[in-house]
Structure 1
Amino acid sequence: MKPKSSNVQNHNSFLQNKLTSEIYLQFEKIVKKNIGSKSFVACISGGPDSLALAACSKIYSEKNHTNVFYLIVDHNIRANSALEAKRVQKNLLKISAKAKILTIKKIISRSIQKNARDHRYKIMSDFCKKNKISYMLTAHHLDDQIENFYIRLSRGSGLQGLSSMKIAEKNKEKITIVRPFLSSSKKILIQVAKKIFTTFIKDPSNTNDRFLRSRIRKLKSNLEKEGLDQTRILKTIDNLNTAKEAIDFYVCYSEKKYIQTKLNNKIQIDLKLFQEQPSEISYRVIASLIKKKSKKDYPPRAKGILNLMDSVQKKNFKRVTLGGFMFNLSGKKIIMTKENRNNKEI
């Protein structure tokens, strides 16, 4: 390992700088708490925030004798995507980080950003499972938090949607996603990346008004000029998180009290869930239940869940289909079973 090839290889040089030191120490605290010395994947796009993630991951791995797998995903969307991925791979060699490129074979032509994200997480999660890795680091940052808030606000999201991303949470593949930069701004991460890497990838979709996130980014800038700045939005998100924690407590309580799973995998839901609990709690319990059992990233649309909640309380209720499941009345219980394509219970 040649010290002159990278500032990151010299821990003292990197950590003596106030800016990079603050970012790294914050990173180290979060990773130690959630991962410790276990192996993890660092998700690298080639942008400045992900390069800052790579640099911090490299130092952490050397200080704590931890294996880090640097993954670059070629989404196969732009004509030069394969070449771009190789450029990122070469850039990481500046910190002696050998990255692996994973290529998405399926052509993504609709709902590009959402489908690209879904395929990206799937291919990286598959890599993790194949290599018995339980943790994945992403470079989500403070600006992402605020942009997500505006995006979900524009879609009429409720408390659940408007709350912030978590520092650590499991995805549907049971891989724990850790986000150590959630309190750091993109501006700061760009400065960190520039101190180590001379170049980084600029994704053209970030400024393309075809995509909602790009339009929201411009709107956010205009709103800041009107006084709706970052500090106020973060305060709102923090207040929402406090309320969400209280609701989560009662949702967990209600799941234990009103739901039972039988040996034949049939799930019994006590009708008292809908009679004794506020509608918000009932709604969240059902949404969470369907999401877990379907192993999907999101529950069914609110309209469908509300229809189920309304239907089960009617005297003539017999059956409702929602999210790939059948909900049948049996005495004072709702029996939830999976349905097949022929609409038969299994």
Structure 2
Amino acid sequence: MSVTSASLTSFPVSSVSAAEFSAALAQCFGAAPVPRHLAVALSGGADSLALTLLLADYASATGRRLTALIVDHGLRPESAAEARHVAQILQKRGIAHDILTWQPENSRATQHRARQARYRLLTEWCHHNAAGALFLGHHREDQAETFWLRLAAGSGTDGLACMAPLRREGAEGLVLARPLLGFSKLRLRETCAAFGETPVEDASNAKPAYSRNILRLNRDALPFDAEKTLRIVDVFARLRRHMCRLTQEALQGCAVFYAAGYAVFDLQTWQKFPQELQKRTLHTALMAVSGRGYPLRTRTLMTALEAAHSRKNGVLTCGGCILETEGGRLTICREAAAVAPVPVTTQETQFDGRLRLRFDVPLPENAVLHVLGRRGVSFLPKEQRKIYEKRRRALPRFARQSLVTVEKQGRILALPQLGWLDAEVFPKNGRISAEFFPNAPIFAIDIEIV
């Protein structure tokens, strides 16, 4: 028999205790340490508000620092006032906070675009303020809804594993933590009440124009309740973890990732793997090299798979990468033409979802990050040209084109991956480092980057 949310309200519902929350955190992080600086995404709804209040007590008890991040998404006229109201709750409680503002380009911006912008603002804040973990308030019903939506969309085993309690961006990057996946929304509402706070209700969550809202309005029609659904999700999650381990082990045996941001596969070794592992290893490499934070389309991946199996040498553009097969090797490089220039405003920054740059020099005013493309190094002073051209030529031809540049008004000021800085702009012993550091959660275990 399916138990609905409505029928649950007839039973007493308790708030989430500090002990329960600490246990949920321990289960979420496992053997990984909880960072010292924590950030939490706070919309003001019951889930994120309860999470913030519980985290504030946890941070105080363990000597950690917590910052609540409120995003004013600008989709509704009242969003700015709501952000200020939530900030007042935090101010009263002495919880550090910051309001991040997104200005949609037009009034027709969708919830999907708003979520993307919100995620970008939150993660950029964390990177720039050295927060080691970003906490998100997804709860039990959110996880169950995600399963049914993905099932309806035809997702595979990885998609049906739904949201992971802990996800890391890159080998040492920001941790996304969801410690409330085992708690119901009713308990989170009760938790807010126990703290004496009233959550903000977002009216757009009830609009039937969005698939998730339609699912919520018709939850009683689902074949399983949230508890049974989560047991199914757990089966897929275990399968995903197992396949992830197999994929990483296979990558260690067939591919080498290079610091310049490209990968090389030994095709003879790779082609001995079962087809599922071939697809997964190739997909992982394409995501890492392209800097994508989301999976490739199945058709795109199959195109790459066919190219890797071809007996002919050749070049293919695919998924933001250039694949070149030659002499039993598959070289995957970032497609330079797919990279857009971006302003550089901080001493440490992420570029193109794949490189982390650190400036140990003053930032030039109005500088941008871009890629070298086909320009070569002929612009260098004659006495320097030979040594840097030698370094450039040591790379695969398409990896040369995707080398990061620091530019101003079309003039190249630095080639960090080749170690060149314009002496007229930067101090003599200055340094700009560029590390291959993909945004996407690529490496579950250590992969050597040479």
- What is the TM-score normalised by the length of structure 1? 0.86
Which segment is superposed worse, 23-32 or 130-139? 23-32
Q: Say whether 1:192 aligns with 2:210.
A: no
More helix by share: 1
For 1:176, the equivalent position in structure 2 comes to: 175
Secondary structure of the 1:312 match is helix
Q: Say whether 1:215 aligns with 2:218.
A: no
Q: Say whether 1:57 aligns with 2:55.
A: yes
Amino acid at match of 1:209: P
| Equivalent-residue separation in structure 1 for 2:127 and 2:260 (angstroms) | 28
Unmatched 5+ stretches in structure 1: 1-16
1:125-160 alpha-carbon deviations (Å, 9 max, x no partner):
222222222211111111111111112112211111
| Equivalent-residue separation in structure 2 for 1:32 and 1:276 (angstroms) | 35
2:15–2:187 contact (8 Å) kept in structure 1: no
2:15–2:191 contact (8 Å) kept in structure 1: no
| Equivalent-residue separation in structure 1 for 2:19 and 2:312 (angstroms) | 62
More strand by share: 2
| Equivalent-residue separation in structure 1 for 2:48 and 2:260 (angstroms) | 45
Alignment equivalent of 2:294, drawn from 298, 320, 335 = 298
2:140–2:183 contact (8 Å) kept in structure 1: yes
Residue correspondences, number: 327
Which segment is superposed worse, 313-322 or 188-197? 313-322
Secondary structure of the 2:250 match is helix
- Offset, 1:255: 0.7
Q: Say whether 1:25 aligns with 2:22.
A: yes
Secondary structure of the 2:337 match is coil
% of aligned pairs identical? 24
| Gap change, CA 1:233 and 1:280, over 3 Å in 2 | same
Secondary structure of the 1:200 match is coil
Alignment equivalent of 1:309, drawn from 289, 305, 309 = 305
- Offset, 1:111: 6.5
Secondary structure of the 2:283 match is helix
| Equivalent-residue separation in structure 2 for 1:313 and 1:299 (angstroms) | 21
| Equivalent-residue separation in structure 1 for 2:261 and 2:126 (angstroms) | 28
2:261–2:289 contact (8 Å) kept in structure 1: no
Residues 150-165 of structure 1: pairs in structure 2 closer than 5 A: 150-165=148-163
- Offset, 1:106: 4.0
RMSD: 2.5
Residues 186-265 of structure 1: pairs in structure 2 closer than 5 A: 186-223=185-222, 227-262=223-258, 265=261
Residues 269-284 of structure 1: pairs in structure 2 closer than 5 A: 269-272=265-268, 275-284=271-280
Unmatched 5+ stretches in structure 2: 1-13, 339-372, 375-397, 402-450
| Equivalent-residue separation in structure 2 for 1:282 and 1:50 (angstroms) | 39
- Offset, 1:259: 0.8
| Equivalent-residue separation in structure 1 for 2:309 and 2:74 (angstroms) | 49
1:154-197 alpha-carbon deviations (Å, 9 max, x no partner):
22111111113222212369311111111111111111112224
For 1:146, the equivalent position in structure 2 comes to: 144
| Gap change, CA 1:296 and 1:148, over 3 Å in 2 | same
| Gap change, CA 1:254 and 1:199, over 3 Å in 2 | same
- Offset, 1:320: 1.7
- Offset, 1:75: 0.6
1:51-100 alpha-carbon deviations (Å, 9 max, x no partner):
11111111112211211111111011111211110011112344332422
- Offset, 1:273: 5.3
2:28–2:165 contact (8 Å) kept in structure 1: no
For 1:5, the equivalent position in structure 2 comes to: none
2:263–2:289 contact (8 Å) kept in structure 1: no
2:313–2:327 contact (8 Å) kept in structure 1: no
| Gap change, CA 1:108 and 1:229, over 3 Å in 2 | farther
